[in-house]
Amino acid sequence: MSIVSVRGVVRHYKQGDITVKALDGVDLDLEPGEFTTLMGPSGSGKTTLLNQIGGLDQPDSGTITIDGTEISKLSSSQLADVRLRKLGFVFQSYNLVPVLSAYENAEFVLLLQGMPAAERKQRVMETLAAVGLQGMEHRRPGELSGGQQQRVAVARAIAGRPALVLADEPTANLDSKTSESLIDLMRSLNSEHGITFLFSTHDPRIMDAARRVVHMKDGKIVNDEKKA
């Protein structure tokens, strides 16, 4: 069964007096364990599609199914539960809670999931070690470099063991060396732990690393390239 199934999704936005069709009848399926990137020029619809799949925005028409649950008509609380239990997010701006330590940021989703304390501690420590932050558990975001903050964001995204991680321009604020390190980390998490990743990006390094590149233009998928 597909992790993601998008069928006929249409989304319009108002820009002043003009109506823009951001997504124009998009169909997309993602299988478990894929490492896929959406690419295209600004305004092509890739971030809009990522937001639709993440339940951060609602389509005007069409359906989106995440790990067997159709999210298109869920209530706000039901959508929040799907995001909590099935999805992980990595944002360009990290979106960490500044007053919380790396440990507490990574733990946050597990607290919301109601995981028992002992299991929670083991999961957080294992996850921070997996992203190369062992020994930095008690540092707050302001005490970490940009690359380390993004690693905390990745740890937070994967700690709850979601069906899918959505990453919107995750390397945009990082230098080349840090970007390459982060891409290697996510490839490793994908290959060793089977975590499914979907990126929206302009970064050619992520496109090179991806095993599938979905090209978007004017709100449509114009090419879907799977690498050997």
pLDDT tens readout for residues 166-187: 999 888 888 888 889 889 988 9
**pTM of the predicted structure, to 2 decimals:** 0.91
Q: What is the CATH number of the domain that holds 112?
A: 3.40.50.300
pLDDT given for residue 92 in this prediction: 83
Please indicate, yes or no, if residue 13 is contained in any of the structural domains.
no
pLDDT tens readout for residues 128-155: 998 889 999 999 999 999 999 999 999 9
Please indicate, yes or no, if residue 91 is contained in any of the structural domains.
yes
Rounded CA separation 61/28 (Å) = 15
Rounded to the nearest angstrom, the gap between the alpha carbon of residue 164 and the centroid of all alpha carbons in its chain is 7
Q: Show the tokens assigned to 224.
A: 């879907």
Please indicate, yes or no, if residue 134 is contained in any of the structural domains.
yes
Domains in the chain, number = 1
- Calculate what percentage of the chain has a pLDDT beyond 90: 70
Please indicate, yes or no, if residue 62 is contained in any of the structural domains.
no
**What is the end-to-end Cα distance of the chain in Å, rounded?**
22
Q: Residue 144's domain spans which residues?
A: 32-56+73-226
Give yes or no for residue 228 having a pLDDT over 80: no
pLDDT given for residue 42 in this prediction: 87
> 146: helix, coil or strand?
helix
pLDDT tens readout for residues 48-94: 999 999 998 889 999 999 999 999 888 899 999 999 999 999 988 88
Please indicate, yes or no, if residue 23 is contained in any of the structural domains.
no
Please indicate, yes or no, if residue 63 is contained in any of the structural domains.
no
CA distances for 70 relative to 51, 162, 193, 198, 199, angstroms: 15, 16, 25, 18, 21
In contact, 141 and 91? CB cutoff 8 Å: no
